[in-house]
Amino acid sequence: MNEPIAVLAGTPVDTWMGVEVLRKAGLTGIPFPVSEDPRAQTAFQILPEAEKQAAVAEILRRGMEQGCRKALVYCNSMSAAVDFSSLSKQLRLPVVTPMDVYRRAAGAYRRLGVIAANAQGLAGIERTLLTANPQLDLYGACALPAVLSVEAGELPEELVERHHLAALADWFQSCGAEKLILGCTHFPYFKAALAARTRLPLLDPDEEMLSLLRGL
């Protein structure tokens, strides 16, 4: 039986991106955006911890009321700003986030680059990777303007050019990065356009998150 999966993300756009990832894999997602736009989501992520936890717990409960027995958090920075492990135990609801993928991948690399939406996301990815592999060397950058371009529907090739993302990827590679983590779930939108302009391999957590969801 294909039970629905609650999809939480920062905005309506990346929430529906998460639903679409599930749909292409033959799974059903119910969207639960937490904020109305990327700037509002960034503001949400710096709220007091108890306030964030309560707000997200209420959203997860709504998902459970609609028949969801597992959840996908399709937002890197929110995954870093909210303690989903605690909420999962509290609600007895399995939750998969991009951080689960990074934790499993950390040991395979010596040096990585990370592009995140904001500093909350970057810090959370760093914390997850270094907890799993303290010897890892990391280089990071934040690119909220690129997220806003995705939300606005700008063509992938145009936003890669305008935000100098290929040059940024080349800088990571020049520093010795073995792979570049696309540390925002908006970023698969331009993955193909960026991959065509850099030799640095890109790490997109989508496939591994689907594998983890199926294993629950």
How far apart (Å, rounded) are the C-alpha atoms in residues 150 and 176? 28
pTM of the shown model: 0.88
Q: What is the pLDDT of residue 2?
A: 81
Q: What is the pLDDT of residue 21?
A: 95
Q: What is the mean pLDDT of residues 113-123?
A: 93
Would you give the DSSP letter of residue 107? G
* Cβ atoms of 124 and 46 closer than 8 Å: no
Q: What is the pLDDT of residue 48?
A: 96
Q: What is the pLDDT of residue 120?
A: 86
Q: What is the mean pLDDT of residues 47-61?
A: 96
* Cβ atoms of 187 and 74 closer than 8 Å: no
Three-state SS at 185: coil
Q: What is the pLDDT of residue 200?
A: 97
Tokens of 3: 């039970």
* Cβ atoms of 179 and 39 closer than 8 Å: no
Averaged confidence pLDDT in the chain: 95
How far apart (Å, rounded) are the C-alpha atoms in residues 216 and 206? 16
203-207-209 Cα angle (round to 5): 100
**Taking Cα atoms as reference points, which of 135, 139, 149 lies closest to residue 190?**
149
Q: Which tens digits make up the pLDDT trace of 135-159?
A: 999 999 999 999 999 999 999 999 9
Q: How many CA atoms lie within 13 A of 164 on its CB side?
A: 6
Q: Please report the domains of the chain, with CATH numbers, ordered by start residue.
A: 5-99+207-214 (3.40.50.12500), 103-204 (3.40.50.1860)
Tokens of 93: 């609801």
Query: Helices marked H in 46-164 — which ranges?
Result: 49-65, 76-81, 84-91, 98-105, 119-132, 144-151, 156-162
Q: Which tens digits make up the pLDDT trace of 66-114?
A: 999 999 999 998 998 999 999 999 999 999 999 999 999 999 999 999 9
Q: What is the mean pLDDT of residues 109-122?
A: 94
Q: What is the pLDDT of residue 1?
A: 56
